[in-house]
A = this chain, B = another copy of it.
Amino acid sequence: MSLDGFVTGPDPREGQPLGEGGERLHEWMFSERATPGGPPEHGQAAGANGEVARELFATTGAVLMGRRMFDLGVGPWGDTPFPAPCFVLTHQPHEDLVMAGGTFTFITTGLTTALDRAKAAAGGKNVLAHSPGIAQQLLRAGLLDEIQLHLVPVLLGTGRRLFDHAVQAGRELEPTGVIEAPGVTHLRYRLPR
């Protein structure tokens, strides 16, 4: 998330799935700047960012996403975004799509069904809500256990907000960890039931 609350920049579309400037938000996962303002070094992130990314991948047993993210993402990804089965919440039926990292399954019967299917497939690992819309729905329904926030020191000004639409005013979260890393602050919160 950008410091001003966005998880994409404006105008997400094919070839620019995270919107204008939105790639900046994921940079910590793939590379680190050797010097502030310097060019990014491509490849697997080192140090604290690498640890956070590797843990994220290792603990994710299934992924939930919206149809829009699938449509924009699967081209650039060329695979599942995590090495795990992915469940796409959609209104249009679609055949299963088998990729190297896992299978995309399309669920037309609502959020709860999609979550149940993802939980069953996750084998005790986490179900990751990969679309902000899905995360917001789970939050409103009281079905979210944890928020892992990767706060990037950039302002985007417009785009898709992670927290949008009136959600449970006064809901308290329990901070469970802060990691300062190059170009990002990793914050974790538990949502008590």
Tell me if B166 and A3 are in contact (CB < 8 A).
no
**Chain A: interface residue count, which band?**
35 or more
Residue among B24, B155, B173 making CB contact with A3, cutoff 8 Å: B173
Chain B residues with Cβ below 8 Å from A193 are: none
Majority SS at the chain A contact face: loop
- The quantity of this chain's copies bound in the complex is 2
- Give the docked Cα–Cα distance between A147 and B151 (Å): 14
- The A146-193 residues at the B interface (CB cut-off 8 A) are 147, 149, 151, 153-158, 161-163, 165-175, 178, 180, 185, 187, 189
- Give the docked Cα–Cα distance between A162 and B4 (Å): 8
Tell me if A178 and B178 are in contact (CB < 8 A).
yes
* Interface status of A17 (Cβ within 8 A of chain B): no
* Interface status of A83 (Cβ within 8 A of chain B): no
Tell me if B155 and A20 are in contact (CB < 8 A).
no
- Give the docked Cα–Cα distance between A9 and B171 (Å): 12
Chain B residue with the shortest CB-CB distance to A151: B187
Chain B residues with Cβ below 8 Å from A171 are: 154-155
Tell me if A166 and B158 are in contact (CB < 8 A).
yes
Residues of chain A touching chain B, judged by Cβ–Cβ distance below 8 Å, are 3-5, 9-10, 20-21, 24, 36-37, 139, 147, 149, 151, 153-158, 161-163, 165-175, 178, 180, 185, 187, 189
